[in-house]
Amino acid sequence: MSKPSVLFVCVHNAGRSQMAAAWLSHLAGDRVEVRSAGSAPAGSVNPAAVEAMREVGIDMSAETPKILTIDAVRASDVCITMGCGDTCPVFPGKRYLDWKLEDPAGQGVEAVRPIRDEIKKLVEGLLAEIAPAPPA
């Protein structure tokens, strides 16, 4: 059985979707293939999001926003939009979720921390469903 793949989408691919991808990569290891993208990617990842993730030991400073492509959606089992009105191309057999999350754009790290923590809880729930940890 191939490992599940998840695509996180937000408009700028600079905050929410980057944090979600970083959390899933961190928590799942190699059990899940992780992608993130945006319909109108920013020039760089939100520095407050990078700092908030650094505080929990996850370095996403090398990440760059990527454009959403039909191929990325086609290659993913689960497509998650981040409450930003983005829409993904719809393909049969894919699962689509929309996580309602506050936009961290233009906010300081203090405002990004609760968003980061909410994303972690959502990612943990998703991971338990699609690729639970093997028994010890």
Q: How many beta carbons lie within 10 A of that of residue 107, not counting itself?
A: 17
β-strand 95-98 against 5-9: which pairing, if any?
Answer: unpaired
Q: What is the largest CA-CA distance in the chain?
A: 42
Active site residues: 10, 84, 88
**SS3 category, 63:** coil
